[in-house]
Structures are given as structure tokens and as C-alpha cells.
Amino acid sequence: MHGRRRPGEGLGTYLLLILILLPFLFPLGWMFLSSFKTQVENTAYPPVWVFTPTLQNYREVFIKNPFFQFTLNSMIVAAGSTGLALILGLPGAYAVARFKQSGIALAILTARMAPGISYLIPWFILFTKLKLIDTYTALILTHLIVALPLVLWVMIGFFEDVPGEMIEAARIDGCSNFSAFLRVALPLVKPGIVATAILSFIFSWNNFLFSLIIAGFKTRTLPIAVYNFLSYEEINWGGLTAAATIITLPVLILSLFIQKHIVRGLTLGALKG
């Protein structure tokens, strides 16, 4: 506000920014706009840009479909897999960072490179035999395949930032290995844990492939509900975009809180953005 204008910070820069952002925002904006249009406006050509918004599409989505149930299913699976991944992954990431066990981390990264379907087929066969198809247990376990490597890899980076002297000092004061982890290291990486938890939640919330096969009618998650919606409502664009907005909006809002960590999460800790 008071400082001098930095070089390059002129009208041109902001015009450039808008020009670059526009194509990346447009599809999401179009989805949002279409969800407030009537069927007539949505099928008009050339497209309608100015219109009176209606909430009819949202009303229909919730009245015609058990969308509250789908949302609840998505939340249970995302929270369950995230919670489990944190419990299992946090001590592991701590040990990898503190005792330099990079072999374990590398093995997990390699396993993460396998195509999702190669995990899905064995688990599908096993869950069918155990009659676990269409249960939260099966869904949470398959989503853990994505969540656990994510937690491990992202948290290793955060634990590596904890100064070793603090742990040493606690150990000399008589702290056991476990309480040094619980009382010293964990509180220091709290922001990292929050970011990782949100990332893992988003990954599970967005997951399509695993839920498509493992979820049934009782545990159907939002992406599958929207996909099924697509197959029998091909032309009801208002309803479809309303459903798409309902599923995407929470993710977009959550992502704003952790924007600094998303690149790290998406590249499994390999790169910071």
C-alpha cells in the first residue's frame, strides 16, 4: 500500500492474469451457471449468458434422489479412510524421517505406481467371497490404498522439518521414544497433519474407480451417484450440473485452506509448488 510500485506490476500484468485464469475457470463457472438455469435456457443455442437464476434443479436433485444418503456415505468413507491412514501412517512417516528408513518409503512409492485396477480385481474377488461388497468396511479399506501412501509421503516431509535437537533434548529429559513422538513431534507438525488430512479427504471424496466396483446401493458415494444420474438423465443438464456442483463445491472450498500443500500432495512429496 505505501511501498513503491514494483516493476511489472501494472495494468498489463493483471490483464494477463485474467486472460490466463479465464480458460481455467470457465468450465467450473459454466457448471455453476448451468445449475441455476431452466431446461429451456440450458438447451438454447447460441448459449444464454444472462438469465433469472432458479433453485429448481437443486430441489429436484434432492427430492428425486437420496442425495443426503450419498453425501453421508461419501463423508463416512472419506473420514474413515483418512482417520485410519493417519493412525497407521503418522508413526511410520515419523520413523522414516527420524531414522532415515527411505527403503520402506521407496517400496510404497513403487506399489503406488501400479494401476488402480490391479488392486481392484483381487480385492473385488476377495470382498465378494467375504460378502463385504457394498459395505463401508470394504470401501474404507480400498480407499486406504490411496490414503496411506499419501499420508506417509506428505508427512515424511513435515517430520523432516522438525529439528532433531528438540527430540534429542526430550529424550535426554527422560522421554521414551513413543512419548517423544506423541508429545514433541506430533504437536510441531499439527499444521501438516491438518493439510494432509484435508488432502486425503479430497482424494477419497473424488475417488471414482474403487467406489464404482465396491459400492452398491446402500453405500453409493457421490461420484457414483452422479455417474448413474448421467446414464439416465443425459439431457437434463440443469439437474446434472446441480449434482456436479454439490459434489465439487465442498472440495473447492476445502482446497482453499491448504493451497500451499496441494502440489506437494499431488506429486507425493516429490515437488513443492
Partner 1 sequence: MTTNSRSLPPPARSSSGWALFIERHPVLVFTSPATVVVFILMVFPVFYTVYMSLHSWFASSVTAPEFIGLANFKRAFTQDERFRNAVWLTLYFTVLATAMQVVLGVALALLLNRPFRGKGFFRSIFLLPMVATPVAIALVWMMMYNPTLGVMNYLVGLVGLGPFKWVSDVRLVIPALAVVDTWEWTPLITLITLAGLATLPLEPYESALIDGATPAQMFWRITLPLLRPTIMVALLFRSIDCLKTFDIIYVMTAGGPGFASETLNVYTFQVGLFYFHIGYACSLLVILFALVLGVSLVLIKVRRGSW
Q: Dmax over Cα atoms in the chain, in whole Å?
A: 74
Within 8 A by CB and 6+ apart from 242, the residues are 35, 57, 58, 60, 61
Identity of the residue, 44 or 166, whose beta carbon is nearer to partner 1 in the bound complex: 44
What would the grid cell of residue 268 be? 507425493
**Using omega within 30 degrees of 0 as the cis cutoff, is the peptide bond preceding 46 cis?**
yes
Q: Which range binds partner 1 by CB under 8 A, 56-64, 132-140, 175-183, 186-194?
A: 175-183
What residues between 47 and 106 interact with partner 1 by CB under 8 A?
A: 47, 87-89, 91-96, 99-101, 104, 106
What would the grid cell of residue 209 be? 474407480
What residues between 200 and 259 interact with partner 1 by CB under 8 A?
A: 202, 205-206, 208-209, 213, 222-223, 226-227, 230, 237, 240-241, 244-245, 247-248, 251-252, 255-256, 259
Identity of the residue, 14 or 55, whose beta carbon is nearer to partner 1 in the bound complex: 14
Cα separations in angstroms, 110 against 9, 97, 165 = 44, 18, 32
Q: Taking Cα atoms as reference points, which of 140, 143, 185, 177 lies closest to residue 160?
A: 185
| Closest distance of CB 190 from partner 1, Å | 19
Name the strand (E) or helix (H) holding 245. Answer: helix 237-257
Identity of the residue, 76 or 108, whose beta carbon is nearer to partner 1 in the bound complex: 108
Using CB under 8 A, pick the residue from 58, 153, 181, 201 that binds partner 1: 181
Cell 458415494: give the residue. 221
Rule CB under 8 A: is residue 25 a binding residue for partner 1?
yes
Q: Taking Cα atoms as reference points, which of 234, 253, 250, 241 lies closest to residue 56?
A: 241
Using CB under 8 A, pick the residue from 11, 52, 110, 163 that binds partner 1: 110
| Closest distance of CB 210 from partner 1, Å | 11
Q: Which range binds partner 1 by CB under 8 A, 55-63, 65-73, 131-139, 262-270?
A: 262-270
